[in-house]
Amino acid sequence: MKHAALLAALLLGIALNTRAASEPDWVRSLGKSAAHPASSYLTGYGMSPEGRSMSTTEKLAYARNAAAGNLVASMQVNVSSEDIVDRFSRVVNNDEELVDQYKSRTVLKSNLNVDGLRFEEFAGSRTDAAHALAILDRAEAAQHYRQKFAGKMTQLVQHQAEGNRQLVGKQVDLARHTYADCSRLVAELEEIILIQELLGDRATVTESDLQQILSVRAEARALWDKPAETMAEAAAQLADKLVARDMDPGRVQVNALMLDDSYQYSQFSSRFRPMLENALAKKSCLIALVLGETAFMPHSSGLARRAAADGAADYLLSGSYFVKAEEICFYLRLSRVSTGEVVGTGDSRMKLSGADGVELKPRNFVEALEDRRVFSSRDLVGGGLSLEVWTNRGVDGLALADGDDIKIYARVNKPCHLRFIYHLANGARVVPDPLYLNYAIGPDKVNKVIELPGEFEACAPFGSETMQFFASTVEFPELALVTRTFDGEDYDVLGDSLAQSNVRHRGLRRKETGVEVAEIRLPLTTVPR
């Protein structure tokens, strides 16, 4: 009996050692690969849930999806939208229309679909998690996108010439279809420019190229010259442009429109979204997906990608609006969720009087912009701890009206403690519940979706707000909290400044060797109904 037990232990040890030896280094280090140094490659790591609820094939697909999303996120760390827009503005001599249009692209980085990804995969036993590493060769990708830009520019010139011929021949309806294709090509060209910036290899774009893009914008807009009088009319105009090309029927996720490139939303955003949904339903075969409905529970923050995998959404509509002296300008993009392909674009104008009585900016717009600058300071040191947070309404376009509820989900790759700080529109930073001072996530919950306990709903004070989450492999230090009352509700409020709070939490890794910290922020806007 002893010999049998010893033999079993020996065989188990051999099996464990064999598995450890067969694991790639990027599995053991959670994404760091000696064969793919950061100087030459961009990489992203993804892991599936454990257990038997998914087959190995499904787990590997899940891990690849997560790895691709993490790679795109890693591209964004050191490139800000402001830097890109500033360089772009100088090239086009600050042409307001083109700069605004380009701003509307730079805030869509989370939806980028990057060409040229390849994957390495690893799967252990049937119950283990599956792992994937997304890999992008910087030099190869840069060369690919230079060639792609040149090809798309050639197509744009040809389509524009065809549209001009149709206009000369008084074929206005045909010209509108042709210019719809031109606008789609322009959106793809702007995305290529952005990806080149994110790769650290600026696109070989000349001022002549940009002027060509600008001329297409002007000619396309002239076909719909009259600005809308009302919000409903503006939504109808945009729907006409978005569906000018034939497309397959399906469900569309309509994000609230962002104010400028500010990552802020407004009462206008909240009220305009259902008008867009209704206009699309009337003019096309697209049916709006209602985020937050109990039938749709996203499994990760890569909401668009997960929605496609779940069969929930086929298309994603996102965009921005810009408030001018006498009008509001809209820039929208409709893309296919499964591939990232741009299938339609729309820009339009509405008289400012069409939004009378509706708040166009969050009530704390200027203060929120200042907080954003503080948030952007890169004090957080990266480590092996990964934190993912999302809601049942997604992570983009979170504009909630008074009384709207929201569920929050999280996932981590190591046992840790979670701290949740909510930044109210009035500037106060609160802990929603004492539970979130040090919410423990044990080994049994690692790599699993956790629904954070508690009920959350939008209420006054209204404006631009932020949900900020920190994770740490050790307990967080105590906070000095005071109880204050806002609009009849009691809150536990932090006493220090935003900058001091960030340093306190982001500095954990520096102060204690081996401690790992992760941070994520979800901006949202609350508005009165």
Question: Which stretches in the chain have pLDDT values below 50?
Answer: 7-21, 77-79, 292-301, 303-305, 307-309, 311, 373-382, 498-511
In-domain check, residue 14: no
Nearest to 307 by CA among 322, 292, 320, 319: 292
Look at residue 207 in the predicted model and tell me its pLDDT.
77
Helices vs strands, H then E, count in the chain: 14, 22
Find residue 333's DSSP bridge partners. Answer: 318, 345
Number of domains in the chain: 3
Quick one: 106 and 242 in the same domain? no
Tokens of 173: 């309806």
Quick one: 326 and 273 in the same domain? yes
Look at residue 433 in the predicted model and tell me its pLDDT.
85
389, 522 in Cβ contact below 8 A? yes
Nearest to 82 by CA among 309, 361, 376: 376
Quick one: 95 and 123 in the same domain? yes
400, 392 in Cβ contact below 8 A? no
Tokens of 198: 């994110």
Quick one: 441 and 404 in the same domain? yes
Distances (CA, A) of 452 to 46, 290, 328, 409, 411: 22, 22, 39, 6, 10
Look at residue 351 in the predicted model and tell me its pLDDT.
94
Quick one: 325 and 389 in the same domain? no
Domain that holds residue 468: 365-527
Quick one: 316 and 402 in the same domain? no
Please classify residue 369 by burial: count the beta carbons closer than 10 Å to its beta carbon, then call 0-12 exposed, 13-18 middle and 19+ buried. Answer: middle
In-domain check, residue 10: no
Look at residue 85 in the predicted model and tell me its pLDDT.
59
Look at residue 245 in the predicted model and tell me its pLDDT.
65
Quick one: 384 and 491 in the same domain? yes
Residues belonging to the chain: 529
Longest dimension (CA), the chain: 95
In-domain check, residue 237: yes
pLDDT digits (tens, 9 = 90+) for 289-343: 765 443 344 444 454 445 444 547 788 888 889 988 899 999 888 888 777 778 8
Q: How far apart are the C-alpha atoms of 200 and 195, rounded to whole Å?
A: 9
Look at residue 368 in the predicted model and tell me its pLDDT.
53
Q: Where a domain ends, among 308, 342, 358? A: 358
Look at residue 499 in the predicted model and tell me its pLDDT.
44
Q: How far apart are the C-alpha atoms of 171 and 159, rounded to whole Å?
A: 15
Look at residue 163 in the predicted model and tell me its pLDDT.
93
Q: Where a domain ends, among 311, 343, 358? A: 358
Quick one: 388 and 341 in the same domain? no
CA 121 to chain centre: 25
Quick one: 351 and 464 in the same domain? no
Q: Where a domain ends, among 223, 238, 262? A: 223
Quick one: 420 and 504 in the same domain? yes
Tokens of 463: 């404006």
Question: Which of left, alpha, beta for 442 (phi over 0: left; psi -120 to 50: alpha)?
Answer: beta
Look at residue 84 in the predicted model and tell me its pLDDT.
53
Quick one: 48 and 60 in the same domain? yes
Look at residue 377 in the predicted model and tell me its pLDDT.
43
In-domain check, residue 149: yes
Quick one: 125 and 86 in the same domain? yes
519, 502 in Cβ contact below 8 A? no
Q: CATH number of the domain that 457 lies in?
A: 2.60.40.2550
Look at residue 36 in the predicted model and tell me its pLDDT.
93
Find all residues with CB under 8 Å of 268, minimum gap 6, and list them. 257, 321, 355, 358, 359, 360
Distances (CA, A) of 487 to 169, 396, 403, 426: 63, 27, 14, 11
Look at residue 144 in the predicted model and tell me its pLDDT.
92
Tokens of 117: 């990804």
